[in-house]
Chain A
Amino acid sequence: MKMPMISLIPMHGAIAQGRSVTLDVLIKIEPPLVELDNNARPPLNLGFVLDKSGSMHGNKLDYAKQAIAYAIEQLLPSDRLSLTLFDTQVETKIPSTLATDKQRLLETIKLIRSGSSTALHDGWVQGGIQVGQYLNNDHLNRVILLSDGLANVGETNPDVIASDVHGLMKTGISTSALGVGRDYDEDLLEAIARSGDGNFFHIASPEDLPQIFETELQGLATTIGRSVTLKLDPQAGTTVKEVLNDLEREESGAIKLPNLTVANPLKVVVRLRVPACDGATDVLEVALQWEDTEHGETLAQTATLQLQVVNPEQLSDFPANPEVQEQVALLMAARARQEAIDRLDQGDVTGAVQFLNDSARTLEAMPASAPLMEELSNLKDLAEDFETGDRQMSRKRAMAEKYHLNRSRSAQYGKKRPKE
């Protein structure tokens, strides 16, 4: 495959001679520009796992059914899907099958009726088995779990569930988690998506469901690299103070990144402590590793950041880089959401709102750009939600927006039509 391009962009193009300094560096990973032929993409192997507990009755279930029907219509005959339903019991409604006889599949979806409680973990296991039976590492294997409630039958310990999801991910099956409405456990679903290397979506109103499914499918269909990790190797006495993105780490310490998808650059910001130096110095080496979905090979690429060293008087010739500033601001806005959630959990609503408003003010003071304008209006809207709206819903929304921002996506990922 054509290789992605890694750029290491420091906040300032140079540092002052003989002074140690804290410097933010944007690591931008741009997937190669490739024409994706929809018929040539790797086959999808999907397991839909749908909550049909009593609370899903009505709108939610209707839209969920529509969303799955929509997904079925998009699949190619070489794709597989299965549908597992859970309430108190687990039922394999459609055992894993090629998406050939779409009419029959759509009929089956139509007939789904709601039931009683929520055996979320067991439903997920069964969905995983359906995908697992046709596990193929050249395909994109994913369980898509949709729920509106709390896991209350079977395994309910979030740590155990997340660790199971992680274990399955290591065998090659990722899991996305979609929460509908105000009653699901966003901490659990976020943990599932995070450990499952999938997406986490908060679906406030059921009519957003088809849109979200489209985003999820398109994300899969445009995947060109998965199991993406980034290793940071600071040089010459430099240390990494922090990684601004809130992302999982591998045992080796490498940062786990989302899948590489066409036309979606991944952006990670690291805050470096660079010791005093006298001449141009290599301060950071990064190694990107990913599994190419076309040939299943593990590929790697490295990049090195060399910093210019200048007289302190010349520093003003190297103003802050707007692209780095923008990304730092977006990640800080993600962090503000976490702070707001923490405050809310302590019962401090005013504090929560304040964090969001402070973050919004910081954004306002920055040079305007389309992503920043969008994020600014999101933040204000969210602050208002926290202040006057349904707190349970606001918390979920903040959680999902934070998840997307940390993964180089707009806070509204999935709410708008994905880029064509």
Chain B
Amino acid sequence: MDTLVELSQINPSWDIDTFVQVTNELLPQYLAENPVNERSESDVNPRLVRFYTTKGVLDKPEKDGREARYLYRHLLQLLLIRRLLSEGYSIASMQPIMGNKRNAELEGLLQGGVQIKAEMRNPAIAFLSQVKARQGNKMSFPKTKPQDLHYASEYGQSKELSQAEGQTDRVTVSHWRRVEILPGLELNIREDFMPPVTPQELANLSQLISRKLQAIFQFRQVLK
């Protein structure tokens, strides 16, 4: 089985049956481990592919004579559709995303695009979270009264925001969880961090962490 990266380099042009087969081979890596929507676990088939095309979430295939050809971008879109379905998103909520994102953005979403996910869930709240985070860094955000926190936590979407509130003139921005990996090495996780949900995302995150660590450890060796 080829990886996504390898597939991107061969500029594929599949007929619908091969396209479906390639997708089904890759799919398990990209699905949520605890799917909200069980049906999304099953394989895709040509009928579904055509259905997604008519719904506008999958680009129309290219034409080679009378035969439909599917490219790398179609693969990205189809993997993402199945993944978002498994997380409980509706087809309608995907419509504004699929056609507009560039390939790199679709890859980002598949590989662990936390930011884009937040944006898709609620772009206004995602935007204001950024504004608040920026203000929080400046330590200028005024006190928020306790009842605000209470209200905010009634709504799932605003949970991540309520962390940024509640600060006074001092710097207490948010809640962190501390995990000791080894004696002398700790990992801090902010409460609003979106954990990886697919094996692929977890693998990417681990790789990112090890790259960062490598950079630090090499630096220290040089110092010695």
Contacts and interface: CB of A to CB of B under 8 A. Distances in A.
B4 interface: no
Interface string A158-181: 000000100110111100000000
Given A95-B151, A95-B154, A167-B127, A89 B143 contact: yes
Interface string B13-28: 0000000000000000
Q: What does DSSP make chain B's interface, helix, strand, loop or mixed?
A: helix
Given A119-B142, A153-B142, A154-B141, A168 B151 contact: no
Contacts of A167: 127, 131
A173 B125 CA distance: 11
A92 B142 contact: no
B155 A133 contact: yes
A148 interface: no
A95 B145 CA distance: 13
Label chain A's interface by main secondary structure. Answer: mixed
A113 to B, nearest CB: 14
Nearest to B157: A133
Q: Which of B127, B128, B158 has the largest number of chain A CB atoms within 10 A?
A: B128
A128 B135 contact: no
Nearest to A163: B131
Interface in A77-115: 86, 88-92, 95
Contacts of B145: 89, 91
Contact size range, A: 20 to 34
B161 A92 contact: no
Interface in A111-159: 119, 121-122, 125-126, 128-129, 131-133, 135, 141, 153-155
Given A125-B132, A153-B142, A154-B141, A92 B148 contact: yes
Interface residues of B, number: 26
A128 B143 CA distance: 17
A88 B143 CA distance: 8
A91 B144 CA distance: 6
Contacts of A172: 123-124
Of A89, A92, A172, which is in contact with the most chain B CB atoms at under 10 Å from its CB? A92
A88 B127 contact: no
A173 B124 CA distance: 7
Nearest to B132: A125
Nearest to B129: A129
A387 to B, nearest CB: 41
Contact of A129 (B123, B138, B158): B158
Given A129-B158, A154-B142, A171 B124 contact: yes
Given A92-B148, A95-B151, A133-B155, A168 B127 contact: yes
B94 to A, nearest CB: 14
Nearest to B96: A137
B124 A132 contact: yes
A251 to B, nearest CB: 15
B115 interface: no
B140 interface: yes
B204 interface: no
A242 to B, nearest CB: 33
A389 B161 CA distance: 46
B124 A122 contact: no
Given A91-B148, A122-B135, A128 B142 contact: no
B122 interface: yes
Contact of B142 (A90, A131, A141, A173): A90
A90 B122 contact: no
Interface in B147-190: 147-148, 151-152, 154-155, 157-158, 161
Nearest to B124: A132
The winner among B123, B147, B158 for most chain A CB atoms within 10 A is B123
A171 B132 contact: no
Contacts of B142: 86, 88-90, 119, 122, 153-154
A128 B129 CA distance: 11
Given A125-B135, A132-B124, A168-B124, 12 more contacts: A89-B143, A90-B142, A92-B147, A122-B141, A125-B128, A125-B131, A125-B132, A126-B144, A129-B152, A133-B122, A154-B135, A168-B128
Interface of B: 122-128, 131-132, 135, 138, 140-145, 147-148, 151-152, 154-155, 157-158, 161
19 contacts: A89-B143, A89-B144, A91-B145, A91-B148, A92-B151, A92-B152, A128-B128, A129-B158, A132-B128, A133-B158, A135-B122, A135-B124, A153-B140, A153-B142, A154-B140, A154-B142, A155-B138, A171-B124, A171-B126
